[in-house]
Amino acid sequence: MKPILFTLENCSKCESTKKYLKGINYDVVEFPHNWQEWTFEQKQLAKKHNVIEDLKETAPIFVTGEHKLIGQLRIKRWAKIWS
């Protein structure tokens, strides 16, 4: 499974996190900040990857096949190891 970076619109931490992930092949999924504005499809995708409650609180969230990394610093540490 290709990793997915879940982000929120106009999120500076999310944009910075993308820089840490250069050289890693991943998909980006961006959501509105207000979770009540999420589409049905966005909610289903977030549920499928078990990030819906986390994403209502904070972003970014990076999901690999075996890890769910919540927050810019955790993702940065992971990227240093794997990139």
Q: What is the pLDDT of residues 57-83, one digit of tens each?
A: 999 999 998 899 999 999 999 999 876
Q: Which domain holds residue 54?
A: 35-64
Number of domains in the chain: 1
SS3 62: strand
Is residue 77 situated within a structural domain? no
DSSP-derived letter for residue 69 is: E
Could you tell me which residues are beta bridge partners of residue 6? 29, 61
pLDDT at 43: 96
pLDDT score for 45: 96
80 domain residue, yes or no: no
The strand ranges marked E within the chain are 4-8, 27-31, 61-63, 68-70
Is 58 a member of any domain?
A: yes
**52 falls within a domain:** yes
Domain-embedded: residue 47: yes
Query: What does the pLDDT read at residue 2?
Result: 93
